[in-house]
Structure 1
Amino acid sequence: MDKLPRLGLPIIIGVVVLIIILAKSAVTIDSGHAAVLYETLKDGVDSEKPPLGPGFHIIAPWNRVIDYETRQQEIPEKMSVLSSNGLDIKLDASVLYEPDERNLGKLHNEKGENYLSRVLQPAIRSAARSVVGRYTPEQLYSTKRDAIQTEIFEETKKIVESQYIQLNSVLIRDVTLPPTIKEAIERKLKQEQESLEYEFRLVTAEKEAERQIIEAQGKADANKILSASLTDKILQDKGIEATIKLSESPNSKVIVIGSGDSGMPIILGNQ
C-alpha cells in the first residue's frame, strides 16, 4: 500500500507534462485564416511547404505558427498628390486586397507580417502620384474619375502581384480640390450647361420656323393647283349640283333660274 503513492506521483506528473505538451502542440486556425509554421530547430519558415489551413493542428511544442488573415480586407488611404499643373489634390481611397495564400511562406520570409506598410501602401501612393500627375484638376473633378481609378488599380497591381499580394480593387471615394479651383470649375461647368441650353433653344426655334415655312409653302402650292383647276365650266356644274340639292330641301325657297352671275340661279328664301 505504501508503494502506491510513490508509483502514482510519477504517473500524475507524467500526465500533467503530457497535457502541457499537448496544450502547446495543439493549434486551431480560424476560418478565413491560414498560418505558416516556424520550425525553431530548422531554418524557420519553409516557404515551399503549404500553409496550415483552418482547423485543428498538432505541431511540435518548440515550433510556433504565424497567423495571417486570408479573406479580402480593406485599408483606407488618404493621399495628397499633385495634378498636371502642380496643384495639390487630396484623394480619399479604399484598397481591397488579400495575401496570396499559396505563397504565404514566401510572403512571410520576404516581406514579413507588416507587408501592408512595406509593400502595399507605398505601391498605392506611388501609383496615385503617377496617375494624378497626368490629369488637370478639371478632369479629376468631373469626367476622368473612373479612368483615374482604373489606372491607379492597374499600376498598383503591377507592383504588388509579384510580391505575393492579390489586389482586388481600388475605389476612389472622394477627390478634394483647392476651394478656389473647385469654385472656378463649377462656374465654368454652369456656363457650359447654360450655353448648351441656349443652343438647344436656338436649334428648336429654327426647326419650328422651318416647319412653318414648309407648311405655308405647301398650302400656297395647294391653292395654286386648286385655282388652276377651277374653270368656269366646273364652277357652273358645281352650282347646278348645289341648286338641285337645295330644291329638294323641305325648306321654303324661291329659285330664279339664270339670274345670277354667269347665268347661275339665285336662291331666295325667308332666311
Structure 2
Amino acid sequence: MFLIFLGIVVLMAGFAINTPSLTFSRFSRPAKVVGGVFIVLGLLSSGIKQIDAGEVGVQSLFGNVGQSTLSSGLNFVNPLAKIETFDIKTQNYTMSAVHDEGLKEGDDAIRVLTADGLEVVIDLTVLYKVIPSETPKILKEIGVDYQNKIVRPITRTKIRDNAVYYDAVSLYSTKRDEFQNRIFKSIEGNFKSRGLLLEQLLIRNINLPTSVKQSIESKINAEQDAQKMQFVLQKEKQEAERKRVEAQGIADYQKILSTGLTDKQLQYESILAQKEIAKSPNTKVIIMGGKGSTPFILGDK
C-alpha cells in the first residue's frame, strides 16, 4: 500500500508541474511515469500475499469476510483486502499458580469448590488447534483473540462446573483421571462449535488445603504402620507354626522310640556298641554285665 500511496503522490506532482511557465515543467512527464510505475508495483505487491507454513489467511474487504481461506505459500488477493492470518498448529494455554509459568502473569490457577465444600487449586494446560475451514467463521464471530474470548473462559467455567461432583481427596487421588476425562468431554463440544479442536487436557497439579494434606499424610502413615504390624504378626505366626511342627516331630520321635524298642533289642545294641569300644587300641578293660547276668571282662590281654 505504501508504494501505491507514493505513486499517487508522485503522479499528482507530475500533473501539478505540467505548466509551461514553470522552469521545472520538463520533469512533469518523468514524474508521471515514475508515479505510474510505483502504482503498478504497489498493486502487484499488494495483490500477492505470502502465508507462512502452519498458517492460513482470511480476506476481509470493507468489513465483508471472505468464505475461502488462503493456504501457506504465495496467494493472489485483492490489493484492497485486509488479510488476517490464523495459526493452525497445535497451541497450548496454561493456567498455573507458578509465577510466569502460565500465559497470564502471577497466580492464574483455577480455584474450585469440591463436593465437600473445600477449595482446591488446579493447574491446567489446554492443547488445541484452530480448524482451518472454520477460520472465516472465527474471524466473523469471534475475532483473532479467541484465546481470551473462548479458550480461557470456557475452560475455567467447565472445570468449576464439574469439580462439584467430587470431594477433595478423591479429586486428588482416585478420581483424577475420571475428572480430567469429564472436563475434556464437556469442553470438546463447546470448542468444536466455535471452530476449535480440543486435542488434550492436562491437569498438571491439584493443590489441596493444608488441613486436608495433613489428614491424608496421617492416614497414609497409619496405613503403613498397620501394614508393618500385619507383617510382624504374620512372621510371628509362621515362627509359632514352625515351633509347633518341630515339637510335634520330637514328640512323634519319642513315641516311636518308647513303643518300638524292646529290652532284648536294647541289650543287643548295647553289646554291639561295647564290642566296638573294646576294639579300640586305647581301651584296656571293659566290664560288661547287667541285671540278673554274670559280668565278664574284655581286654587286650
What's the TM-score once normalised by structure 1's chain length?
A: 0.79
Shift of 1:80: 1.5
Provide the rounded CA distance (Å) in 1 between the counterparts of 2:161 and 2:298.
99
The counterpart of 1:100, out of the listed 131, 142, 163, is: 131
Provide the rounded CA distance (Å) in 1 between the counterparts of 2:57 and 2:234.
69
Provide the rounded CA distance (Å) in 2 between the counterparts of 1:146 and 1:215.
53
The counterpart of 1:116, out of the listed 147, 164, 167, is: 147
Shift of 1:35: 2.0
After superposition, give the CA deviation of every residue in 1:124-151 in whole Å (9 maximum; x if it has no partner): 2232123221121222333333332232
Is the aligned partner of 1:17 residue 2:15?
Answer: no
**Residue 175 of structure 1 aligns with which residue?**
206
Instruction: Output the amino acid matched with 2:289.
Output: S
Provide the rounded CA distance (Å) in 1 between the counterparts of 2:214 and 2:80.
65
Q: Is the alpha carbon distance of 1:152 and 1:250 closer, same or farther for their aligned partners in structure 2, counting shifts above 3 Å?
A: farther
Q: Is the 8 A contact 2:58 2:65 kept in 1?
A: no
**Residue 65 of structure 2 aligns with which residue?**
44
Provide the rounded CA distance (Å) in 2 between the counterparts of 1:268 and 1:36.
126
Q: Trace 1:151-162 onto structure 2 (pairs within 5 A).
A: 151-162=182-193
Q: Is the 8 A contact 1:260 1:266 kept in 2?
A: no
Shift of 1:84: 0.3
**Residue 259 of structure 1 aligns with which residue?**
289
Q: Is the alpha carbon distance of 1:266 and 1:8 closer, same or farther for their aligned partners in structure 2, counting shifts above 3 Å?
A: farther
**Residue 249 of structure 2 aligns with which residue?**
218
Shift of 1:166: 1.6
Is the aligned partner of 1:73 residue 2:91?
Answer: yes
Provide the rounded CA distance (Å) in 2 between the counterparts of 1:66 and 1:150.
34
Secondary structure of 2:245's partner? Answer: helix
Instruction: Output the amino acid matched with 2:72.
Output: P
Secondary structure of 1:143's partner? Answer: coil
Is the aligned partner of 1:34 residue 2:48?
Answer: no
Unaligned residue ranges in structure 1 (runs of 5+): none
Q: Trace 1:191-230 onto structure 2 (pairs within 5 A).
A: 191-230=222-261
Is the aligned partner of 1:57 residue 2:78?
Answer: no
Provide the rounded CA distance (Å) in 1 between the counterparts of 2:298 and 2:176.
86
Provide the rounded CA distance (Å) in 2 between the counterparts of 1:199 and 1:31.
63
Q: Is the alpha carbon distance of 1:45 and 1:212 closer, same or farther for their aligned partners in structure 2, counting shifts above 3 Å?
A: farther
Q: Is the 8 A contact 1:45 1:109 kept in 2?
A: no
Unaligned residue ranges in structure 2 (runs of 5+): 1-25, 96-108
Provide the rounded CA distance (Å) in 2 between the counterparts of 1:218 and 1:199.
29
Q: Is the 8 A contact 2:65 2:136 kept in 1?
A: no
Q: Is the alpha carbon distance of 1:151 and 1:201 closer, same or farther for their aligned partners in structure 2, counting shifts above 3 Å?
A: farther
What's the TM-score once normalised by structure 2's chain length?
A: 0.72
**Residue 9 of structure 2 aligns with which residue?**
none
Provide the rounded CA distance (Å) in 1 between the counterparts of 2:50 and 2:284.
118
Provide the rounded CA distance (Å) in 1 between the counterparts of 2:203 and 2:58.
34
Q: Is the alpha carbon distance of 1:208 and 1:101 closer, same or farther for their aligned partners in structure 2, counting shifts above 3 Å?
A: farther
Shift of 1:61: 0.6
Shift of 1:43: 4.0
Shift of 1:229: 2.9
**CA RMSD of the aligned region, Å?**
3.3
Q: Is the alpha carbon distance of 1:111 and 1:223 closer, same or farther for their aligned partners in structure 2, counting shifts above 3 Å?
A: farther
Shift of 1:116: 2.4
Larger radius of gyration: 2
Q: Is the alpha carbon distance of 1:11 and 1:242 closer, same or farther for their aligned partners in structure 2, counting shifts above 3 Å?
A: farther
Q: Trace 1:235-250 onto structure 2 (pairs within 5 A).
A: 235-250=266-281
Provide the rounded CA distance (Å) in 1 between the counterparts of 2:135 and 2:296.
114
**Does 243-252 or 161-170 show the bigger shift?**
243-252
Shift of 1:240: 4.3
Give the share of equivalent positions with the same residue, in percent.
Answer: 33
